[in-house]
Chain A
Amino acid sequence: MLNPQLNKNGELQHLLTIEGLPKDVLTHILDTAASFVNVSDREVKKVPLMRGKSVFNLFFENSTRTRTTFEIAAKRLSADVINLNIDSSSTSKGESLLDTIDNLTAMHADMFVVRHAQSGAPFLIAQHLNRSNQPHIHVVNAGDGRHAHPTQGLLDMYTIRHYKKEYSNLTVAIVGDVLHSRVARSDIHALRTLGVPEIRVIGPKTLISSNMEQMGVRVFNSMNEGLKDVDVIIMLRLQNERMNGALLPSAQEFFKSYGLTPERLALAKPDAIVMHPGPMNRGVEIDSAVADGTQAVILPQVTYGIAVRMAVMSILAGS
């Protein structure tokens, strides 16, 4: 199947999902990100790579954190950033998604950063731009439904590489609501492409699809078994609406079985790192002692997230 993210020269035209991207494309993004990490420490935190370019943050679903990091990343590349929270503007007036895109295209957008509650929405936009002969406009998926959150996946890979150097000898566990998690899916594709030999997902059967193994992971329903000797623990956020209902009886019971406590963390390798895409629910999926502990790398993830997003946007703008 044709990968709709790559142009005919094999260059990245859009970033929609990590699935199907070659290893060298991922490595190139991570290497580029490394060169941007220091930009944030400079007195003038800007490089002129996207001067004169307009980046539209199109958030059809609420987000403060991801939108802010994309905004900072674009501004550090000297781009002009326009934030649109479409939840409260045009679609509620009945305008269709593609009409919105056409209108913004007429305003000479160079890049759309899209978050949408529906899996696949950024694909629709990218295909529409390609079809309507606007291939110079790039689409970055900032999270679509349960499907993908590729920049989060990449920043997770950056963080893992920073602390662990190599991927080829690691065991990585992803814990919690895998079923609804776009972060988990992007992490799994990235970890596989980069050569991590063992990827585990841990959670109750209501939050892990029975055919998840076909994505190349080992499924554990027991936290104690799943965490044994792992190098990296990626905790997932449990959305409020999942906590009381047919998926889970209560947040308390979830924490009892799957919350990351210091005792459980001790089952992992002594130098294991703990990651979380944020925002955290302390006492639901993670104990404060772990979240604030020495093995947590949750705040560095946020810092690297800006460098990774700068890398993605600058690579797309240069293609």
Chain B
Amino acid sequence: MKITILNGRLIDPANGIDAVRDLYISDGKIAAILEPGQVMDGFESNRTIDAAGLIVAPGFVDLSARLREPGYEYKATLESEMQAAMHGGVTSLVCPPDTDPVLDEPGLVEMLKYRAMTLNQANVYPLGALTVGLKGTSLTEMAELTEAGCVGFSQAAEPVLDTTVLMRAMQYAKTYDYSVWLRPQDGYLSRNGLAHGGPVATRLGLAGIPIAAETIALHTIFELVRATSARIHLCRLSSAAGLDLVRKAKQEGLPITCDVGAHHIHMTEEDIGFFDSNARMLPPFRSKEDRDAIRQGILDGTVDAICSDHTPVDDDEKMLPFGEATPGATGLELLLSLMLKWAEDCGSAPEAISRAIAKITCDAAQVAGLARGRLSKGSAADICIFDPKAQWKVIPSNLASQGKHTPFLGHDLPGQVRYTIVGGRVAFEA
């Protein structure tokens, strides 16, 4: 299969390109990137896509998408969520191990990889559980899990309360130089918490999660990194104080990276409104100052990547009083739009759009150690072609994911995916 994509504005942050270019794809790989007017001799396309007015970017790399398999098929299935990924232009995704059973055995990982492969859509990279059953007591067979296809080890949203176990896990992972993905959230200070421990929670009578839950966990992790030199990826930062600690730790030279969930670039505690359970998230939406610090962190590079933190939740678990609702939002199909919205809020300068795309392509791929998220000659032809100006309305019928809940329901967002190409195959077109 040979495809030619003509006249598009090609944005490939990894190679510093933001210009009109023609893209030639052959055998699942990028064969050439040429300036307009140049022609690739002897290249006979099976298909030509005119991308005039559209942006051609690397397919997106999402560092956290819950596919809900195995175990939670009533919330979502691999089929539905892979569709959602294609609709959202996400061609590679990392999935956390909090399935049922937990991804703590090689067989489960192999099964998931196999199921994903037969669907032949997005590339799926599982994270293995750091501890058996995510219980925080004993280590998993990390080497075996890596052989089965895990790209790192994570506790998902479960804290490791026992710091001895955490240190051992980091030492063991460092033995093989595996990366450990941790969500900085102190298990005691966040226990029973429903919302950011700020004025909105006080007014609404919701138990708060203080910022100290994040900063204390970060201090603990950084001390253990100093002791073990383990490579740590910090998942879902939520506060200005937390980002400040990350910034300083990076200056110190600690081997850390961090990400933020896309919803948190825009939403604040105020968006809970009158107990909107769609705004029930973990970590919670925090203050405007925290939100602004996240935006700044994307600009100054403290935030390495943005992920969708895609969490399909069904009606039965969302249409409940705020405190009983399951946290999380659908995200795969909003990731691009929420990044473009951030770029719009920055004034839509070309650098801003390029930066926005970097955070969901090459920068994210680098965090996960994947050779993806770039449009170099010879690299896998994972591509998203989108219309940056087209608006779409976030309503359930516009979402392919089985998860229909997001605090952006009813909003108009910029950016519509026109084509998603995975491994040189057009997997989605609108």
Are B202 and A212 in contact, CB atoms less than 8 angstroms apart?
Answer: yes
> Of B203, B208, B324, which one neighbours A215 at CB under 8 angstroms?
B203
Are B274 and A147 in contact, CB atoms less than 8 angstroms apart?
Answer: no
Q: Which residue of B lies closest to A178 (CB)?
A: B202
Are A211 and B323 in contact, CB atoms less than 8 angstroms apart?
Answer: no
Are B274 and A4 in contact, CB atoms less than 8 angstroms apart?
Answer: yes
Bound Cα distance from A105 to B319, whole angstroms: 17
Interface assignment of B114: CB less than 8 Å from any CB of chain A:
no
> Of A1, A19, A96, A214, which one neighbours B199 at CB under 8 angstroms?
A214
A sample of 22 cross-chain residue pairs with beta-carbon separation below 8 angstroms, ordered by A number, consists of A1-B274, A16-B274, A97-B321, A119-B204, A119-B275, A120-B275, A120-B322, A120-B323, A121-B321, A123-B274, A124-B275, A124-B320, A124-B321, A124-B322, A146-B207, A147-B205, A182-B205, A209-B197, A211-B199, A211-B202, A214-B199, A215-B203
Are B275 and A209 in contact, CB atoms less than 8 angstroms apart?
Answer: no
Bound Cα distance from A97 to B274, whole angstroms: 18
- Contact A214 to B205, CB < 8 A, known contacts A118-B323, A120-B275: no
> Chain A interface residue count: which class?
20 to 34
Number of residues on chain B facing chain A (CB within 8 A): 21
Chain B residues whose CB sits within 8 angstroms of the CB of A123 once the complex forms: 274-275
> Of B204, B207, B319, B321, which one neighbours A116 at CB under 8 angstroms?
B321
Q: How many A-B residue pairs have CB under 8 A?
A: 68
Q: Which of A169-223 contact B (CB under 8 A)?
A: 182, 185, 209, 211-212, 214-215
Bound Cα distance from A127 to B321, whole angstroms: 11
Chain A residues whose CB sits within 8 angstroms of the CB of B203 once the complex forms: 19, 185, 214-215
Contact digits for B347-378, partner A, Cβ 8 Å, 1 yes 0 no:
00000000000000000000000000000000
Q: Beyond A96-B320, A147-B205: 6 further Cβ-contacts under 8 Å?
A: A4-B274, A16-B274, A119-B275, A124-B322, A128-B319, A215-B199
Q: Which residue of A lies closest to B206 (CB)?
A: A119
Contact digits for B203-228, partner A, Cβ 8 Å, 1 yes 0 no:
11111100000000000000000000
Q: Which of B297-346 contact A (CB under 8 A)?
A: 316, 319-324
Contact digits for A121-139, partner B, Cβ 8 Å, 1 yes 0 no:
1011001100000000000
Query: A interface vs B, CB < 8 Å?
Result: 1, 4, 16, 19, 96-98, 116, 118-121, 123-124, 127-128, 144-148, 182, 185, 209, 211-212, 214-215
Chain B nearest CB from A274 CB (Å) reads 25
Chain B nearest CB from A87 CB (Å) reads 15
Bound Cα distance from A215 to B203, whole angstroms: 7
Chain A nearest CB from B190 CB (Å) reads 15
Interface assignment of B273: CB less than 8 Å from any CB of chain A:
yes
Interface assignment of B28: CB less than 8 Å from any CB of chain A:
no
- Contact A118 to B199, CB < 8 A, known contacts A98-B319, A209-B208: no
> Of A16, A119, A214, which one neighbours B322 at CB under 8 angstroms?
A119
Chain B nearest CB from A215 CB (Å) reads 6
Are A96 and B205 in contact, CB atoms less than 8 angstroms apart?
Answer: no
Q: Which residue of B lies closest to A120 (CB)?
A: B275
Are A1 and B321 in contact, CB atoms less than 8 angstroms apart?
Answer: no
Chain A residues whose CB sits within 8 angstroms of the CB of B207 once the complex forms: 146
Bound Cα distance from A209 to B205, whole angstroms: 10
> Of A1, A119, A146, A147, which one neighbours B273 at CB under 8 angstroms?
A1
Q: Which residue of A lies closest to B319 (CB)?
A: A98
Chain A residues whose CB sits within 8 angstroms of the CB of B199 once the complex forms: 211, 214-215
Are A96 and B316 in contact, CB atoms less than 8 angstroms apart?
Answer: yes
Are B202 and A209 in contact, CB atoms less than 8 angstroms apart?
Answer: yes
Question: 4 closest Cβ contacts across the A-B interface?
Answer: A120-B275, A146-B205, A147-B205, A118-B321
- Contact A119 to B202, CB < 8 A, known contacts A1-B273, A1-B274, A124-B275: no
Are A148 and B205 in contact, CB atoms less than 8 angstroms apart?
Answer: yes
Are B319 and A120 in contact, CB atoms less than 8 angstroms apart?
Answer: no
Are A120 and B202 in contact, CB atoms less than 8 angstroms apart?
Answer: no
Are A97 and B205 in contact, CB atoms less than 8 angstroms apart?
Answer: no
Q: Which residue of A lies closest to B323 (CB)?
A: A118
Chain A nearest CB from B241 CB (Å) reads 15
Bound Cα distance from A96 to B325, whole angstroms: 12
- Contact A119 to B323, CB < 8 A, known contacts A185-B203, A211-B202, A215-B203: yes
Chain B residues whose CB sits within 8 angstroms of the CB of A16 once the complex forms: 274
